[in-house]
């Protein structure tokens, strides 16, 4: 009998489906709800899927609808989802490398930032250690701020700090406040640690490990690390400037704030926009230009093998390099004096086009199931679900059950789909001993 590990592309969806099913059952327990009775099936399913897929979308008011036990469940499910996604993504890359020849194995190890494929336990320990250190550092800062700055009792300060630290690093985005983080919009001691936690989680472990070793020598970075770091910086600057420009005078967002607070808000909200799910302003008050820009940034997402969703930074930048090479008439796609394999180019195109197809289909279906919701808001909601960002303009709770189920499917496919598809393509790659005659159909 064939080992199931020969089909890792099937294991990831099944594992997450199982986690969502267990989470749904637990969220339906009467103890998980603040009021008497249990949560409806769709509400529990939506919440569990959102937590396991580290999305953060919610159809109910998280701090008041769920009990303390429910909040603990959200924390555990988010931690499992984040830890499982990143470790499975890393381990699948190692499994792929084992299926390759010697040269392919060496290339895969180089692109995985030198993670050892021979000691799976060591990889898991390193992943867990990084996660604990990052979440612990964020929790310490938040605990002191909640306790000393806002007068929370020590126990409550610690709980709130741990909850939001886990949500930040795992890019989940659930909050214990009805307005997410809007009340802390001018507080850098709350916003900055959470923003940097989101950023660390969205970069990905392979990049974090390589940066820890080679941060002083960018010339030695792998192509994957270079694209992830460069893409993060590029999109952060772009998102920060566009948010600042479009919302500077908006009375519903940045308008009433002073200049330092506007800069702080634009910076932190931009980082949280692409994957974090927290919001420090009322997203329902955003201008249409900001909605469009944010939708695009969410679709791109964060780094590979991270808690971020979207089509991923490397996919987006590789497509840009492909277009640039085609415009210049270059026979090869070259990044930092390294030729990108044609298989990798096809994978990037496949992931991007499948993402476009899913978002387009989801938007059409959701628009047909809803009424009186502007199209740009529907597109924003669908993209947020597919990219597992968790931002909402405030329409999620008012959606009918059928539309909520559509968002559940998008969250699930958006979270595990790119990993499963990418791995399946890599594992099924084979060389033919012959080639067909070439043909050149008209393009454009």
Q: Using alpha carbons, select from 374, 418, 410 the residue that is nearest to residue 389.
A: 410
Please report whether residue 307 resides in a domain: yes
Please report whether residue 438 resides in a domain: no
Please report whether residue 443 resides in a domain: no
pLDDT by residue (tens digit) across 252-310?
Answer: 999 999 999 999 999 999 998 888 889 999 998 999 999 999 999 999 988 877 778 88
pLDDT band at 370 (very low <50, low <70, confident <90, very high): confident
pLDDT by residue (tens digit) across 404-422?
Answer: 999 999 998 888 876 666 5
pLDDT of amino acid 426: 57
User: Can you tell me the distance from the alpha carbon of 101 to that of 203, in angstroms, rounded to the nearest whole number?
Assistant: 28
The pLDDT of residue 394 is above 80: yes
pLDDT of amino acid 85: 59
Please report whether residue 433 resides in a domain: no
| Mean pLDDT of all residues in 187-213 | 89
Please report whether residue 245 resides in a domain: yes
pLDDT band at 95 (very low <50, low <70, confident <90, very high): low
Please report whether residue 148 resides in a domain: yes
The pLDDT of residue 173 is above 90: no
Please report whether residue 10 resides in a domain: yes
Q: Which residue has the higher pLDDT, 99 or 55?
A: 55
pLDDT of amino acid 397: 83
Please report whether residue 434 resides in a domain: no
pLDDT by residue (tens digit) across 132-150?
Answer: 899 999 999 999 999 999 9
Mean pLDDT, all residues of the chain: 85
pLDDT band at 20 (very low <50, low <70, confident <90, very high): very high
| Mean pLDDT of all residues in 378-401 | 90
pLDDT of amino acid 422: 58
Q: What is the pTM of this model?
A: 0.86
Residues with Cβ < 8 Å from 402, sequence gap 6 or more?
A: 369
Is residue 290 within 8 A of residue 279, CB to CB? The reply is no
| Mean pLDDT of all residues in 43-58 | 92
pLDDT of amino acid 86: 55
Residue 100: exposure state from Cβ atoms within 10 A (0-12, 13-18, ≥19): middle
pLDDT of amino acid 360: 95
**Cα 178-179-185 angle, rounded to 5 deg:** 145
pLDDT of amino acid 240: 95
pLDDT by residue (tens digit) across 238-256?
Answer: 999 999 999 999 999 999 9
The pLDDT of residue 113 is above 50: no
| Mean pLDDT of all residues in 17-44 | 93
Cβ neighbours, 10 Å, residue 3 = 6
Q: Which residues pair with 339 in a beta bridge?
A: 334
The pLDDT of residue 10 is above 70: no
pLDDT band at 102 (very low <50, low <70, confident <90, very high): very low
The pLDDT of residue 444 is above 80: no
| Mean pLDDT of all residues in 348-353 | 89
Write out the two tokens for 92.
Answer: 């699948």
Owning domain of residue 118:
4-428
Write out the two tokens for 5.
Answer: 């590990």
pLDDT of amino acid 144: 97
Least confident of 112-116, 355-359, 407-411: 112-116
The pLDDT of residue 367 is above 70: yes
Q: How many domains does the chain have?
A: 1
Scored b (16 or more CB within 10 A) or e, 156-181 reads ebbbbbbbbbbbbbbbbbbbbeeebb
Complete DSSP assignment for 257-326: S-HHHHHHHHHHHHHIIIII---SS-GGG--HHHHHHHHHHHHH-S-TTSS--SS-HHHHHHHHHHHHHH
| Mean pLDDT of all residues in 3-17 | 64
């Amino acid at each position: 009998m064939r080992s199931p590990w020969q089909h890792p592309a099937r294991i990831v969806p099944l594992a997450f489906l199982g986690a969502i099913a267990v989470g749904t059952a637990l969220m339906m327990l009467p103890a998980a709800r603040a009021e008497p009775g249990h949560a409806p099936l769709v509400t529990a399913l939506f919440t569990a899927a959102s937590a396991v897929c580290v999305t953060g979308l919610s159809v109910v008011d998280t701090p008041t609808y769920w009990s303390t036990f429910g909040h603990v469940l959200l924390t555990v499910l988010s931690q499992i989802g984040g830890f499982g996604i990143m470790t499975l993504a890393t381990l699948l890359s190692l499994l792929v490398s084992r299926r390759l020849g010697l040269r392919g194995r060496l290339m895969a190890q180089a692109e995985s930032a030198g993670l050892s494929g021979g000691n799976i336990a060591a990889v898991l320990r390193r992943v867990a250690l990084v996660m604990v250190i990052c979440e612990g550092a964020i929790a310490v800062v938040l605990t002191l701020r909640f306790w000393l700055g806002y007068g929370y009792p020590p126990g409550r300060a610690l709980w709130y700090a741990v909850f939001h630290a886990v949500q930040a690093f795992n890019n989940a985005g659930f909050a214990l406040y009805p307005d997410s983080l809007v009340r802390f919009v001018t507080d850098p001691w709350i916003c900055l640690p959470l923003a940097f936690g989101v950023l660390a989680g969205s970069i990905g472990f392979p990049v974090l490990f390589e940066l820890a070793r080679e941060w002083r020598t960018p010339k030695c970075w792998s192509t994957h690390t270079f694209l992830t770091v460069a893409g993060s910086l590029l999109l952060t600057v772009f998102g920060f400037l566009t948010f600042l420009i479009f919302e500077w005078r908006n009375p519903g967002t940045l308008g009433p704030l002073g200049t330092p607070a506007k800069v702080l808000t634009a910076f932190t909200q931009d980082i949280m926009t692409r994957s974090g799910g927290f919001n420090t302003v009322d997203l329902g008050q955003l201008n249409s230009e900001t909605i469009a820009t944010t939708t695009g940034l969410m679709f791109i997402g964060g780094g590979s093998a991270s808690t971020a969703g979207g089509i991923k930074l490397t996919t987006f930048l590789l497509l840009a390099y492909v277009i640039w090479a085609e415009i210049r008439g270059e026979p090869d796609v070259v990044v930092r004096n390294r030729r990108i394999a044609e298989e990798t180019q096809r994978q990037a195109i496949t992931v991007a086009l499948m993402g476009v197809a899913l978002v387009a289909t989801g938007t059409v279906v959701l628009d047909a199931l809803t009424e009186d919701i502007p199209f740009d808001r529907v597109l924003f909601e669908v993209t947020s679900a597919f990219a597992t960002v968790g931002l909402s303009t405030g329409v999620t709770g008012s959606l009918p059950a059928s539309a909520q189920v559509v968002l559940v499917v998008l969250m699930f496919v958006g979270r595990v789909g790119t990993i499963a598809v990418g791995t399946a393509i890599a594992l099924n790659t084979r060389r033919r001993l012959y080639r067909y005659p070439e043909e050149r159909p008209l393009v454009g």
